[in-house]
Amino acid sequence: MNNVQFTPEMKKDYTILVPTMLPTHFKMICQILRSFGYKADLLENYGQNVVDSGLKYVHNDTCYPALLVIGQFIDAIESGKYDPHKVALLLTQTGGGCRASNYISLLRKALEKAGYGYIPVISLNFSGLESNPGFKITLPLLRQLVYAVFYGDLLMLLKNQCRPYEINEGETEAICEKWTKKLVDEMAEGQMSYKTVKCRYAEIVSDFHNMPRKNEKKIKVGIVGEIFVKFSPLGNNHLEDFLVSEGAEVSMPGLVDFCIYCVYNNIVDTKLYGTGKVKSFVMKWVYNYLCEKQNDLIAAVKENSNFKAPTPIEHTRSLVEDYIGLGTKMGEGWLLPAEMLELIDSGVKNIVCAQPFGCLPNHIVGKGMMKPIKERNPDVNIVAIDYDPGATKINQENRIKLMLSCAVEILNNSKEEAKI
């Protein structure tokens, strides 16, 4: 299997294709890459063609998110929109177990099988797994990427809290698109100072806060699970849209939490195994840096609105310590049950746990943790939904509707009790 590298000469002419996961976040990330001289394009091809392309070149027992990402790449290459000899593919690698390290080799095998073995695959990683001479993660680029993640989380948070209550249909999406474009344009102009970022936080929150909204009580439903299926409309059959159409308000912990979780795991490894002490020192600095930035975002939400602010990751971590060891890091590790507990702690008692079918690590930390969580929180309503090529959307939605019907009954009972 060839490992075709992305060379400095390719930077000028090659278009880097980026798979979708969080559309708002990734739009900004692509623009940042463009501002640093790369040609980057966010893939937005959805539908059965993506699944079919994945099934054609990836074994059907393989991780569903891997199948979708690879299918999206190959479907885009074969769409005629791009010159296959002038594209490169970008994938993240966290350095962890399972797909976190193995997507790259799966993608390269699929490309060779499809006749595109000459296409370079770029690994976006911070652990030295792979390097590409034409793609460098510099400190200025990394700083801008961090800002994009925080911006994306803020817009997702506010959008979810406004959309079910909007008086003027589509206004929430319009405000979100307006700010995404504004932030993307600012990033295209060059490096953005953190002082500017904090000012934008306040302006964004105020803009959403001033939007006319209905004063009514909706069912709150949290979404947790494997990171791709949790966030990606492609992976979860547009789960957020479905929940909103059913009259629910969606609550979903952001990407920042996952990033901090990955950093914190390196610190825990040193405590458990006594290795990587220099790396641990650096990771502690990064951890404190990200926590400080998260606290700034939380403060901006609290000071400029009545929206529910994100939960600090340190509090989220403390909630799970009596349930599971912090050395558990396969799948989404301790973070997945921690996010369930975070939602419960903030008053969200209805939770959808979205998982790829047959993903053993996530079934352990997801489904496996549901029983102890329910035993200590008997009023919690959790449903695990599996996603894979053979699972029908109607069956998934019917299971969610059953969970929602229980939530409606509980909500109506609480209203009746309040009248007495």
Domain ranges of the chain: 10-136, 218-253+311-420
Q: How does DSSP classify residue 165?
A: G
Amino acid at 67: L
Whole-angstrom CA distances from 285 to 142, 148, 397 are 15, 20, 43
Q: What is the mean pLDDT of each run of 10 residues along the chain (420 residues)?
A: 84 93 91 90 90 89 88 94 95 70 85 93 76 85 91 96 94 94 83 87 96 91 93 92 93 94 90 83 93 96 95 95 90 92 94 87 87 92 90 88 84 58
What values do phi and psi take at 416, rounded to 5? -65, -40
Separation between Cα atoms, residue 187 and residue 148, nearest integer Å: 9
To the question of pTM greater than 0.95 for the whole model, the response is: no
Question: What confidence score (pLDDT) does residue 187 get?
Answer: 79
* Number of neighbouring beta carbons within 10 Å of residue 78: 15
* Number of neighbouring beta carbons within 10 Å of residue 401: 12
> In which element (H, E) is residue 355 found?
strand 350-356
Residue 115 falls in which region: left (phi positive, over 0), alpha (psi -120 to 50) or beta: left
Which of 83, 151, 84, 148 has its CA nearest to residue 111?
A: 84
Which of 257, 403, 417 has its CA nearest to residue 333?
A: 257
Q: What is the CATH number of domain 10-136?
A: 3.40.50
Separation between Cα atoms, residue 71 and residue 261, nearest integer Å: 28
Domain 10-136 identical in fold to domain 218-253+311-420: yes
Question: What confidence score (pLDDT) does residue 132 get?
Answer: 80
- The HSE-up count of residue 50 (CA atoms within 13 Å, CB side) is 22
Which of 195, 159, 52, 53 has its CA nearest to residue 113?
A: 53
Question: Is 3.40.50 the CATH classification of the domain at 218-253+311-420?
Answer: yes
- Positive or negative torsion for Cα 224, 307, 212, 214: positive
